[in-house]
Structure 1
Amino acid sequence: MATFAKSSFNAAVYSASRPTYPAKLFECIYNYHGRSKDTCWERAVDIGCGPGQATVLLRDRFREVIGIDPSEPMIQKARANFKAHGSSSEHNGVLRFIQGSAESLNETLEDDSVDLLIAAQAAHWFDWSKVWPETRRVLRKNGTAAFWIYSELRFPEHPSLTPLITDYAQGDNPQTSLGPHFQRPGRTILERHLVDVPNPVDVGEKGLGEVERIYFSGDYHPSLPSSQTRPVILKKQMRWRDLLGYLRTWSSLHTYHELYPEDKNKLDERFPEDLRTSNTQVDREDIDVRGGDIAIRFWKDLREKAQEDGARVGVEDTVNVEWPVALILARRIQ
């Protein structure tokens, strides 16, 4: 994705503010992978790995793990994150990160060399006419592909906030919404939970089959097939301050500020107590809540609405956040 590849994109903030993937998601993937009697657990590859949040979780099951991403800042951050996790070992799996593209895996991976190929929060950017054939090429027989995304956040205790989220993320006014600043059609594919991603056979790839689509979306998106819908599994309790940090990772915000740099200098005087709280913070790495740019304004809109519901909305107060997840599974069958 073009924004993430820019040198000005802050991969460190992205890494720290995004939700982490739950064990239940990997259990689902591993159960699917383990159905074949000839399943191998030697090499796993994460394409579009970003800062490596999903990549590092593969080490417990695979002897070798590779993360691939087109963005050099992301690869640098992934390597730094891995170093923070400690050095690799034969027991925990050897992990390395390589700059490369999901559509051109021939530059980084050999034929028939991968047991599990994943993509976490990247599949909506792929050119599937190229990625499905590349997936078939690099997977070993009975190898698994597992591609997933999570869509727009939801507040389970505050459903009244959902219209605000939709207006902010999908509105069509380029000055008051981030909707026009997302890269399309990728963002639309994410918003629609990958239903627009073709099956392998639809792009002429017959070597992949046993395709399954699972939606861990609960009741948030009733238009999705009910037989394939499961309870929400991606959840996080966050300080309101941390929620602002998450909102600042949106690629569309980065693009918005490139187009409207003056927005960064705006002020929003709602919640003046935020500044008093910030002045007492001793952690210099904490999320800065000063200013009044479009992210701050949206964040304060959410807090005002939640406050109407009776919620505590101080910057150090916490709120429960959920994200619907869409997962596509496929296996190399020939």
Structure 2
Amino acid sequence: MATLDRFSTQADLYARYRIDYPAELYQWLLPQVAARARAWDCATGNGQVAAVLAEHFAQVEATDISTAQLAQAPQLPNIHYQVASAERTPFAAASFDLITVAQAVHWFDMAAFNAEVRRVLRPDGVLAEWGYNLLTINPEIDPLVRYFHDETMRPYWDDNRWHIVDEYARLPFPFAGVQTGRFAVRRQWSAEWMLNYLRTWSSVASYQKQHQQDPVLLIADELTQLWGPGEREVIFPVFARTGHLQ
């Protein structure tokens, strides 16, 4: 099964309006990693995780199936970007101290990816997978966003999306020493920023492709009215898991 590409068409929006991850996540993750020679950021997208890893590892390999996403990534001397699938890479066996996958593993062929992890991870290396669920704002706006997510967009989500809602509970993780963490990303956004964030969803891109219309406009007026002028705090719940070879 080929890895699905659902983010090339909105790569510029993705780079600007998608969240990055809190320092607390890296503070939890990095002490679990014994060596800091090489890391692989799988499905790197626009390279936001790779750029953080580059501060802590001598060399970072960052892969994605989307050339459009990689074009948005920061160029740093110790990051090497290349197009490659999660399930089949050009890397040598036992070559990484850390493998990371942020908000992407639900798109993979899990059996093939886990086999590739076992091949390229060093014996004392760590695999880290994380994602974030639907954001919350306040009791007035949350039902509107959830209805848009769960009902309006439901026919346009791939089934893979619901693994995020389940926080990867149904995705196999056949590794030892499993640790889990929970974090929160808090941002101050305007209504316009929120609407553009919605346009980064794969379901919105699918709707636009099928209907040649922007579905975010279906809720734009109501959301903007409820939001009011200025900014509001948005909160994304982040979930993470780590493990190593048995």
TM above 0.5, yes or no, is yes
Q: Distance in 2 between matches of 1:325 and 1:170?
A: 19
Q: Distance in 2 between matches of 1:188 and 1:10?
A: 21
User: Aligned pair count?
Assistant: 243
Structure number, greater radius of gyration: 1
Is the 2:208–2:215 contact (alpha carbons within 8 Å) kept by the matching residues of 1? Answer: no
Structure 2 segments unaligned to the other structure (5+ residues):
none
Could you say which structure has the greater relative contact order, defined with CA pairs below 8 angstroms and 6 or more residues apart? 2
The alpha carbon displacement at 1:124 in A equals: 1.2
% identity of equivalent residues: 28
Is the 1:115–1:140 contact (alpha carbons within 8 Å) kept by the matching residues of 2? Answer: yes
SS of residue paired to 2:29:
helix
Within a 5 Å distance, the mapping from 1:152-301 to structure 2 comes to: 152-155=134-137, 158-171=138-151, 177-184=152-159, 186-200=160-174, 208-214=175-181, 216=182, 232-261=183-212, 263=213, 293-301=214-222
Normalised by the length of structure 1, the TM-score is 0.69
The alpha carbon displacement at 1:70 in A equals: 0.8
Amino acid at match of 2:7: F
Aligned equivalent of 1:62: 57
The alpha carbon displacement at 1:191 in A equals: 1.3
Aligned equivalent of 1:309: none
Q: Distance in 1 between matches of 2:197 and 2:25?
A: 21
Structure 1 segments unaligned to the other structure (5+ residues):
34-38, 89-93, 172-176, 201-207, 217-231, 264-292, 307-312
The alpha carbon displacement at 1:161 in A equals: 2.4
Q: Higher strand fraction: Structure 1 or Structure 2?
A: 2
Is the 1:59–1:95 contact (alpha carbons within 8 Å) kept by the matching residues of 2? Answer: yes
Is the 2:5–2:65 contact (alpha carbons within 8 Å) kept by the matching residues of 1? Answer: no
Runs of 4+ residues over 6 Å off in structure 1: none
Is the 1:46–1:119 contact (alpha carbons within 8 Å) kept by the matching residues of 2? Answer: yes
SS of residue paired to 1:2:
coil
SS of residue paired to 2:27:
helix
Normalised by the length of structure 2, the TM-score is 0.93
Task: Provide the aligned C-alpha RMSD in A.
Answer: 1.5
Is the 1:43–1:63 contact (alpha carbons within 8 Å) kept by the matching residues of 2? Answer: yes
Is the 1:25–1:233 contact (alpha carbons within 8 Å) kept by the matching residues of 2? Answer: no
Aligned equivalent of 2:122: 140
